[in-house]
Copies of this chain bind each other. A is one copy, B any other.
């Protein structure tokens, strides 16, 4: 039986199995889901065991646990380390989901659920590919280690120290990750660059109590005014970040790099129309792919303060909040960037208002050499299944922990993504195109088989 026949005959059963995992609301950012995180980790451990992997262990950390498993019966062959995550993003605003986020639903060949593409669906494909080879051939052509964490969506808080502590257990010749996207439908890509990430929370405070806008309006500071002025000051009118020192370590784009980006042939009008936007918006002088792939950014992810209920409330709020993340490139140092933003906020705050800053995640950007044999074989594997070899691209996203894997394990990272950019990652109606589920299973099998030849 060919692998295509093998997977076709098990498709419904495997999707039902994936749905069990997707139903577990393993939201790492919200402490009330701590129990669900553990349930999702246990489900994963059971499924790895069923697939034929060994030494399965749920390792506690200071936060959510790491699930480990391995197969070490290919002496003389390379060792691959599979990394992924079983935690998911929060789901609000809930009312914008067509079907509930934790009740998986297939429509038009797409599987809708929180975590469908990011990252449970993609991790599940690897497990099923391994299970298939073991079942069809009795052994794997490589040694394989599995390390799936539960804190990716909150910045992999405890994984770096876990890697340092267990670097012998996790030692590998390459790290295999599926948490990125195809360029577009039918055009596979292997990401060779990830942006870094840093994040912070901002509180602006004014009077000791909320005040009535009749009695005090116009004569006292308003925390919301102070906050919006402060946040508006973070960008100039050319879309550039207006924070002193923010661009330190950002490489200039060479003509050669600009050519590489242009090769992706992304149609900006099509993107704009797909998002129903009247215009794209970003730093002047750069194309869409350059902005996402090679430029840093500072985004407001949440802003709130004052009255949010129905109707009017004539209140002058005493406190207002913002959540900010930055994507970093090149040699930008996340700590320096956070310090620069904090200094900017403290020096631009309106008289009468105070600002407090909490620095959160910090991750460097990562560049990967595409000439590495594991990356070349991965590109070939896509070619066999998709009929077109994978392009080597730079992705705007961050998998903050990749830089730690690269530094601590000193192994190349092979980012074989099977998602699509419009699958609503981190948004309502997240979904996974099942075409890439089917092709992905076969691509992973092809890659594992060829990796044994390195």
Q: Taking beta carbons and an 8 Å cutoff, which residues of A are in contact with B? A: 28-31, 89-90, 92, 96, 154-155, 181, 195, 197, 199, 206-222, 224-225, 227-229, 231-233, 235, 275-283, 288, 291-292, 295-297, 299-317, 320-321, 323, 325, 327, 350-354, 360-361, 395-398, 421, 424-429
**Inter-chain contacts of A360 with B (CB < 8 A):** 312
Q: Is the CB–CB distance between A154 and B217 below 8 Å? A: no
B-chain residues with CB within 8 Å of residue A288 when the two chains form the complex: 219
Q: A30-B309, A209-B427 given. 16 additional CB < 8 A pairs?
A: A29-B310, A92-B307, A215-B292, A217-B396, A218-B296, A218-B299, A224-B231, A225-B299, A228-B232, A229-B235, A232-B232, A281-B351, A281-B352, A299-B314, A301-B317, A314-B426
Q: Determine the distance from Cα of A3 to Cα of B30 in the docked complex, in whole angstroms.
A: 60
| Complex CA–CA separation, A217 to B276 (angstroms) | 17
Asked if B209 and A429 make an inter-chain contact with CB atoms under 8 angstroms apart, the answer reads yes
Cα separation A155 to B314 with both chains bound (whole Å): 10
How distant is the Cα of A412 from the Cα of B38 in the complex, in angstroms?
Answer: 70
Interface core residue of A213, A278, A320, A353 (most chain B CB under 10 Å): A213
Top 6 nearest A-B pairs by Cβ distance? A214-B397, A218-B297, A29-B311, A232-B232, A210-B427, A302-B306
Option from B28, B209, B282, B312 in Cβ contact (under 8 Å) with A323: B312
Alpha-carbon distance A62/B424, docked complex (angstroms): 43
Contacts of A397 in B (CB 8 A): 212, 214-215
Q: Which residues of B contact A210 (CB under 8 A)?
A: 96, 424, 426-428
Contact assessment for A327 and B292 in the assembled complex, using a CB-CB cutoff below 8 Å: no
Q: Residues of B contacting A229 with CB < 8 Å?
A: 232, 235
Determine the chain B residues whose CB is within 8 A of the CB of A428 once the complex forms. 209-210
Q: Which residues of B contact A302 (CB under 8 A)?
A: 224, 305-308, 313, 315, 317
Which residues does chain B contribute within 8 Å of A361, judged by CB atoms? 312
Residues from chain B with Cβ under 8 Å of A396 in the complex = 214-219
Contact A277 B313 (CB under 8 A): no
A-B contact pairs, 28 of them (CB 8 A): A90-B311, A207-B275, A210-B427, A210-B428, A211-B275, A212-B426, A213-B325, A213-B327, A215-B292, A216-B421, A217-B292, A217-B299, A218-B295, A220-B277, A221-B280, A227-B228, A231-B232, A281-B352, A299-B316, A300-B317, A303-B304, A306-B323, A312-B323, A313-B323, A314-B325, A314-B398, A315-B426, A315-B427
